[in-house]
Amino acid sequence: MSDSFALARARRALEEAGLPMDLPLERASSVTNEVWLSDRYVVRVNRQANQRLRREASIGPLLPAEVGYPAIEAYGGQLGADWLIVHRVPGRPLSRCWPGMTRDERRRAVSQMATMLRRLHQFDCPEDVIDVEAPQLLGTHTFRAVDPLLAALDKAVGLDNVDAKLIDSVRQVVLATCSTIEPFNQETFVHGDLTFENVLWDGHVVTAMLDFEFSRAAPADVDLDVFLRFCAFPYLHVAEDYEAETRAIDYAEVPFWMAEEYPELFSYPQEFDRLRLYSIAYDMRELLAFPPSGPMQSLSPHHPLRRMERTLDGLSHLDRLAGNIEADPMALDPGEPIIKGFDTPVPSAPLLAY
């Protein structure tokens, strides 16, 4: 993507917002949007035709003050190039700071993040919030929450290089455990994309939780799906310029810290089955978006089809957190031998209940 075109879009947003177009802007790393920083503002431009930033512009001012969401300056643009300008909050993405933080600093950051998350989950979702295509293919307006997931499984059977037997096995797991997440239509407000990319750290404290594009009403533990996925594979969820220094071994204790600080989030009955359903629903959405380009054995181990295969085989990152320490041979740092990934010191007690 050309920085010159992206910069022009950011300056047009400033102009439409009535702000000086010639503000010095620095390009910031981002996974989903074009992001530019001035000394006072953050300019985000969404290049997808979904107007996710429109939702955030309407939700942001309603969020609890404790989450630190920045004041909104302006929203505008058009389909395929809508923008949101907010006031800049002190701090840098926690994921970028993480490699250089001490263990005590990391522990403190997770504690503060848990406090923010608990407060967010106590916030009632506004009734008129605009619907969003969530990362997990689960519905709040369908007879069963898994109906969109079952429809996606039907589509997946027709894709090239997809084994119908594997999809049928996934379907059996979904049907056998779908009751564990009901009732899914809840007023709890979830972040929807809970990674350390969306949390700011100023060197001493967590200053803000950002990027509420996928926020919505859902059971609170839906936020664990992306959070635990991020902890297992952090290098897949950060900007490319620091992917190489982002290591899974540095996040091994984080789920256990979060459980200590926010135990009720991990206390749903049959939590493992619930999270496995969320995980399958996430992977199915990605599978339809990125169909396999070749046979299973030729795909990246992180391709959604391979992830679902490990889930069925009891070898996922969730199985490991449930006490199977031999699980998920792919939850490793790129280029490191398998044995090193399992030398990570983590508590021996299972985190997730079957």
Both structure tokens of 284 = 């199915």
Q: Output the pLDDT for position 130.
A: 67
Task: Give the model's pLDDT for residue 186.
Answer: 86
Q: Which CATH architecture has domain 3-87?
A: 2-Layer Sandwich (3.30)
**Cα–Cα distance measured from residue 132 to residue 261, given in angstroms and rounded to the nearest whole number:** 29
- Termini Cα distance of the chain: 45
CATH topology of domain 92-137+180-341: Aminoglycoside 3'-phosphotransferase; Chain: A, domain 2 (3.90.1200)
Q: How far apart are CA 257 and CA 277, in angstroms?
A: 23
Prediction pTM value:
0.90
Domain ranges in the chain with CATH number 3.90.1200: 92-137+180-341
- SS3 of the chain: helix, strand, coil, percent, to 5: 45, 10, 45
Portions of the chain given CATH number 3.30.200.20: 3-87
Each residue's pLDDT, cut to its tens digit, for the chain (354 residues) gives: 468 899 999 999 999 999 999 999 999 877 778 999 999 999 999 988 887 888 899 899 999 999 999 999 999 988 878 999 999 999 999 999 999 999 999 999 999 999 999 999 998 877 777 677 889 999 888 889 999 999 999 999 999 999 999 999 999 999 999 999 999 988 899 999 999 999 999 999 999 999 998 899 899 999 999 999 999 999 999 988 899 999 999 999 999 999 999 999 999 999 999 999 999 999 999 999 999 999 999 999 999 999 999 999 999 999 999 987 666 666 555 544 333 333 445 555 688 887
* Residue from 336, 333, 323 nearest 249 by CA: 333
Cis peptide before 183 (omega within 30 of 0): yes
Q: Which of 235, 21, 52, 217 is nearest to 120 (CA)?
A: 217
Task: Kindly report the backbone phi and psi dihedral angles of residue 190, in degrees, each rounded to the nearest multiple of 5, phi listed first.
Answer: -110, 155
SS3 state at 248: helix
Report how far residue 99's alpha carbon sits from residue 25's, in angstroms, rounded to the nearest whole number.
Answer: 26
